[in-house]
Amino acid sequence: MMQYDIVVVGGGPAGLAAAIKAKKEGIDKVLIIERDKELGGILQQCIHNGFGLHIFQEELTGPEYAERFIKEVEKLEIEYKLDTMVIDLSPKKVITAINSVEGVISIQAKAVILAMGCRERTRGAISVPGTRPAGVLTAGMAQRSINIEGYMVGKKAVILGSGDIGLIMARRLTLEGAQVEAVLELMPYSGGLTRNIVQCLDDYHIPLLLNHTIIEIKGKERVEGVIVAKVDENKNLIIGSERYIECDTLLLSVGLIPENELSRKAGVEIDNVTGGPIVNESMETNISGIFACGNVVHVHDLVDWVTKESMRAGKSASKFAKQLLNNQDSININVGCGIRYVVPHKISLSEKKETIELYMRTDNVYCNADIVIQVNGETVKKLKKPRLNPGEMQSIKLQLKQIQLEKNPIITVCVDKGRAENGI
Amino acid sequence: MGSKQIVCIVCPVGCTLKIAKELNEYSVNGNKCAKGKLYAIEEETRPTRIVTSTVKIANGHLNRLPVKTSSPIPKKLVFKCMEEIKRIEVEAPIRVGEVLVNNVLGSDVNIIASRSMYKE
C-alpha cells in the first residue's frame, strides 16, 4: 500500500490551493488525485474573465487562474495522478483509486482533503415533461463542448435557469452566432451575479423572464421547441400564460449538487441544505483527519473564496498530519431566519483562533437589511447590506474574543429584516 | 441628459451607479470604489468589453485554445472581433499571454492566449 501524508481528492481550484498550502506548511508527501486528463477542473472550460479579483487583484479567465496554481504545484514538486478515479475512501483514510496504467491502487493517508467539487442538476432532477429529443443539455456540458471539444451545440437556444453558468452561456452562444431566445427563471429573482445579468444578457438584448418555467419539451429526433409558462408566487402554473418558443437547443442551468458519494462512503456527515459535509472552522468533517473544501462543501459564487477556504483546509490538514490539530468538542452555529446555511457549521473549542469568517447564503432577496450574529440572544455583530441576493455568498467575521466558548453559548446568524422590503 | 442608473460590472459586488451630466462634468453616485466612477463615465461615453473566445489549435491535447483581448475593446467592435478570432489557427506549443494577433481591428488591443498548451 502506498503511503502519503496528505491525499487531495480532486485537482480543481479547491484541490490545487489545498495541496499548495499543505506543501508550503512543510508536508512532504502530498498527492493530488484527478479524474480528468489535466489539472484545473472546471476552470479550464470557464474561458470568460472575472476570476481572481480578490486573490490577484486582477481579472483573469478561468484557464489563467488555474494555470497560476498549476505552475505552483509543478514548482513545489507536488505529486499528482491524472486520469485516476477515486472509488472508495474508508474512515481510516485508506483510498482506493483506479487508472488504466496502475490498475487498482490503495493509498494510506494521514489526512485526506475532499475537493471533488459539484456537478450539475439535469433534466431528471427537475422533471420537465415532454419528449426526449437530442439538444437538451446542461449549461456546463454545453460550455465544455464549445470551449474545450470545439463543437457548437445548436443554433437557436432557450436557457432554463439564470444561475451564473446559464448567463455566461447565453453570451457565449450569442458570440458564437447562435440566437438565444430567452433565459427563463422560476424564481422572482436571478440566481446569478448582477454583473453577469448586465454583461451577458442586457449587452446582447437577451430577455430574462422571471417567474417563468418550461412545461413541455417538443421534438422527435431533435428539440423543436418548448412551451413556457408563467408561475405565481407559489410557483403554480398560471393557466393561459403558456406560449411556444421555437428552438433547437435547451440548456439547463438549474443548480449544482456537491459531489459527495465518496464522503458518504467514509461516513462523513452531510448537511441536507448545502449537500456537502458538515465542517468546523478548520474545514474538518466529523471524521477525524478528513477535511473538505470548495464546492464539495457548499456551492461558491466566486473561485477566490474557494481558494481562500481551501488554503484553510490545507493548513489544517497539515497540522493534523503533524499531530498538532485536536478538534474534539465543538459548538454549533445556528441558522436563524433569512439564512439558508452557514459554513463552517461548528466551532471547535480546542483550537484557539481570534476570528473566524462565516460564509452564508440568504433564502430570499432583502433590501436594506442587516446580517446579524447573536450570542445567547444578544447581537455581537451587525453587517449592513443594501441588498442581499441568494445568488451572492455573504461573509461576516466573528471575533471569538467576545465569546466565552467554554460556556456553551448559543450562536445564531440571521437576517434582521427591520428595514427590509421582501422581494424585488 | 438627466440622471441614469447602471450596474457596475467592474467586480462582483455590482454596485448600482447613478450617473448625471452637469455642464461638462459627470457626477457618479453609488460607487464603492474609484474604479466604479471611471466605469460609469466610460460606459456613458465609450463602453468597452473584454472579449473571450477560443481558437483552433493543432497538435495540442485539446481541440480549442482559449483566447482573450489583452484589454477591453469598444463594445461596438465585439462581433467584428469575434470574426477576427474565428480566422485564427495556431499550433501547439503555446504559452499563456502569447500574442496571436497584434492590434486587432486597429484598436491597439492584441488577441492573446489565455492558457498554455503543450505539444501532444
Say what percent of chain A tops pLDDT 70: 98
pLDDT at A142 over 50: yes
The band of A362, judged by pLDDT with boundaries at 50, 70 and 90, is very high
In angstroms, the separation between the Cα of residue A167 and the nearest Cα of chain B is: 14
Model confidence pLDDT, tens digit, residues A245-274: 999 999 999 999 999 999 999 999 999 999
What is the mean predicted confidence (pLDDT) over B38-46? 91
- Sequence-distant (6+) residues with CB within 8 A of A129 are A215, A216, A217
- Residue entry with cell 472552522: A281
pLDDT at B75 over 60: yes
With CB atoms and an 8 Å threshold, state whether A195 touches B14.
yes
pLDDT at B20 over 50: yes
The band of A179, judged by pLDDT with boundaries at 50, 70 and 90, is very high
Among A50, A61, A203, beta carbon nearest to B66 = A61
Any A CB within 8 A of B74 CB? no
Model confidence pLDDT, tens digit, residues A271-292: 999 999 999 999 999 999 999 9
| Residue A420, pLDDT score | 47
With CB atoms and an 8 Å threshold, state whether B52 touches A48.
yes
Model confidence pLDDT, tens digit, residues A321-335: 999 987 778 899 999
With CB atoms and an 8 Å threshold, state whether A175 touches B82.
yes
With CB atoms and an 8 Å threshold, state whether B11 touches A195.
yes
CA closest to B50 among chain A residues = A49
CA-to-CA distance for A324 and A317, rounded, in angstroms?
A: 10
The band of B92, judged by pLDDT with boundaries at 50, 70 and 90, is very high
Q: What is the pTM of this model?
A: 0.94
Interface probe, candidates A68, A69, A169, A175, chain B, greatest B C-beta count within 10 A: A175
In angstroms, the separation between the Cα of residue A286 and the nearest Cα of chain B is: 33
- Residue entry with cell 477591453: B72
Beta-bridge partner residues of A184:
A160, A209
Range with the lowest mean pLDDT among A238-247, B35-44, B75-84? B35-44
| Residue A47, pLDDT score | 98
Long-range (24+ apart) CB contacts under 8 A made by A230-238 are A231/A186, A233/A188, A235/A186, A237/A213
With CB atoms and an 8 Å threshold, state whether B9 touches A195.
yes
b or e along A372-393 (b: 16 or more beta carbons within 10 Å of the residue's beta carbon)?
bbbbeeeeebeeebebbbbbbb
Which chain A positions have a beta carbon within 8 Å of B98's beta carbon?
Answer: none
What is the mean predicted confidence (pLDDT) over A351-355? 78
| Residue B1, pLDDT score | 57
Cβ atoms of A229 and A212 closer than 8 Å: yes
Q: DSSP character for A325?
A: -
What is the mean predicted confidence (pLDDT) over A209-237? 97
With CB atoms and an 8 Å threshold, state whether B66 touches A66.
no
User: From residue B46, how far is each of A90, A324, B34, B40 by CA, in Å?
Assistant: 58, 57, 18, 10
Interface ipTM > 0.85: yes
CA-to-CA distance for A213 and A184, rounded, in angstroms?
A: 6
The band of A359, judged by pLDDT with boundaries at 50, 70 and 90, is very high
With CB atoms and an 8 Å threshold, state whether A44 touches B115.
yes
Which chain A positions have a beta carbon within 8 Å of B53's beta carbon?
Answer: 47, 175-176
With CB atoms and an 8 Å threshold, state whether A47 touches B51.
no
| Residue A423, pLDDT score | 44
